[in-house]
Structures are given as C-alpha cells and as structure tokens.
Amino acid sequence: MPQPDWHGYLARIGYEGPLDPTLEVLRALCRAHVRSVPFELLDGPDGIKPEIDTQSVFEKVVVRRQGGSCMEVNNLFAALLTSLGYDVTTLAARPWLPQDRAYTETGDHMVLLVRLAGAEWLVDVAYSQLTAVEPLELDGTVRTERGWEFRVLRDGEAFVAQRKGLSGRWAPIHCFTRDPKGAEHFGEIVELYLNPANDSPILHTLMCSRVTPDGKVTLVNDLLIEASEGGAERSSRVETAHAFHQVMETVFAGHPQLAERGTRIRQRLMGDHPPAAPTTEETIV
C-alpha cells in the first residue's frame, strides 16, 4: 500500500515549520491541526460506514478536505507523528458523561500516548468537547490555555484527563490506561456505532465541533456548546435556520462542502420531530 503524501498533509493543516521529533514541534503540529481540521460525524447520518485505515482517512481529510471522528483524525495524526520519528501508541479512552455521572462502558474515544524525552504525553486533536490543544504530561502538571486549566492525574492503573474553568472545580473529560488499542478495537467501535446496518443513535445525530480563536464550538443536533476564552462555557438551542447557518460557518470555516452537508443532514433529521442529543453511552466522541 502506498504511503500517504505527508507533505500534502502538512500543507492541509498549514504547517511549514521544522519537522524534528521534539516537544516544540509536537505542540506546533497540534495547534496547526486543530485550527484546520474540524471534528465531524457526518458519515453516520449520511448512511456511510467510515473506513479508519490511514490511507482511507488521508483521502478523506487531505484529498477531499473533510474532517472526521477521533478514530479517523487521531489515527491519521498518529501516522504522521510516527513518520516523523515520534514514539506513538493509540489508546482507548472512556469519555465522561456528565448527565449520567459516569464514564462510558466502552473505550470509544481514541487518544494518543507520545513518549518523548523521558516523559509521556497525552495528545488529542479530535475530540468533540473542549480539551487541551497541546500535549498534556501524564504527571499531573497543569497546563493553562485561554483561561482553562487542564491536567492528567493517575488513578491506580488508569489516568484521568480533567479541565477547570471559571467554576473553579476540576471536571473529568475521560479516563484511559496505557493498554494499546488499535485497528481491531476501533473497528469494533465503528461496527457498533457507525455501521448503517445497526440502528445506533449516532446514525441519527448531527455532531461536529471546531477549535476557534476564542475556545471551542460544539454542536450536537440543536444543542450548541460554546467554550470561550477566560474559562467560560454556555449552552443554548439553535432554533432557526439562520442561527444554524451561522454555526455551520463557524464550525466548517474554509469547508463549504461540509457546511452544505451539515445543513442537508439537519433538514433530514429534524423533520417533524427534532432529535434530542444522545444521553447514554452511545455518545461517540
């Protein structure tokens, strides 16, 4: 199988800096990636089962200029880092569901563990909710980004990623272990949640997000979550076509084809009975 055109990938995310496998370069690549590639789960509602191998995701994200889920985008980013000489392992994280006060049963969120300069770093460039843009060391060190604080704490054999905003309280994002999880595990997740042959709620959910200069914007059906600079977060309902168009322009800036696709999916999903945001473990992030 041919190797992806990594120079094309770097051009896609607008990165023109050095490529040495250093922490500084890793941070810069993370920043470039989240600014350029939106998180989106549009394939499922469109009746498409996504392929998560590196070449397929490269075609989707780089050649066709789309976004993708964690299993697609983080996997592609891991392949890029490996090609540059980084020591990368893909892991399965269990997202925290605030409404259930529990983590998901399955590890349905892919994250990356990068071992570099004698330390271990959590890397994640494809998460629906707000998390750190730059790597987090697995030693409890607090990182501040735009008024939000992030850290990773050890809990026995597991690690918990957390964030703190204006509330002053640390809230869990997800938990994970160092146990490697690759194509077989995430292929099962695709079959469970994103195979049109199964009637998963994700197939009836419009979900997308984008890191913005002020924070992050996440849309789940008609629920808009805005994490802003200074550590604030607010939720609201997108009730009009005009408001939805504005959200699409923000999330899919520079990707008009995705904005059009998202609008079409919304029109089909809404119908006479607007769908509610998923509230069980079938929330794939």
pLDDT in tens, 231-270: 999 999 999 999 999 999 999 999 999 999 999 999 999 8
pLDDT of residue 237: 97
For residue 215, the Cα-to-chain-centroid distance in whole angstroms is: 14
Residues 6+ apart with CB under 8 A from 32: 13, 14, 15
Q: Name the pLDDT band for 2 (thresholds 50, 70, 90).
A: confident
Average pLDDT, the chain: 93
Query: Helices 256-270 and 241-251: crossing angle, nearest 10°?
Result: 140
Instruction: Give per-residue pLDDT as tens, 77-118.
Output: 999 999 999 999 999 999 999 888 999 999 999 999 999 989
Q: Name the pLDDT band for 5 (thresholds 50, 70, 90).
A: very high
pLDDT of residue 275: 47
Instruction: Give per-residue pLDDT as tens, 166-213.
Output: 999 999 999 999 999 999 999 999 999 999 888 899 999 999 999 998
Q: Which residue has the tokens 């794939």?
A: 284
**pLDDT reading at 282 higher than 50:** no
User: What CA–CA distance (Å, rounded) separates 169 from 246?
Assistant: 31
pTM to 2 decimals?
A: 0.93
Work out the percent of the chain whose per-residue pLDDT is above 70.
Answer: 95
Q: List, as one string, the DSSP characters of the chain.
A: -PPP-HHHHHHHTT--S--SSSHHHHHHHHHHHHHHS-EE--TTTTT-----SHHHHHIIIIIS---B-HHHHHHHHHHHHHHTT-EEEEEEEEEEETTTTEE-SS--EEEEEEEETTEEEEE-S--SS---SS-EETT---EEETTEEEEEEEETTEEEEEEE-TT--EEEEEEEES-B--HHHHHHHIIIII-TTS--GGGG--EEEEEETTEEEEEETTEEEEEETTTEEEEEE--SHHHHHHHHHHHTTT-HHHHHHHHHHHHHHHTTSPPPPP-STT---
pLDDT of residue 270: 83
Q: Which amino acid, residue 127?
A: Y
Q: Name the pLDDT band for 3 (thresholds 50, 70, 90).
A: confident
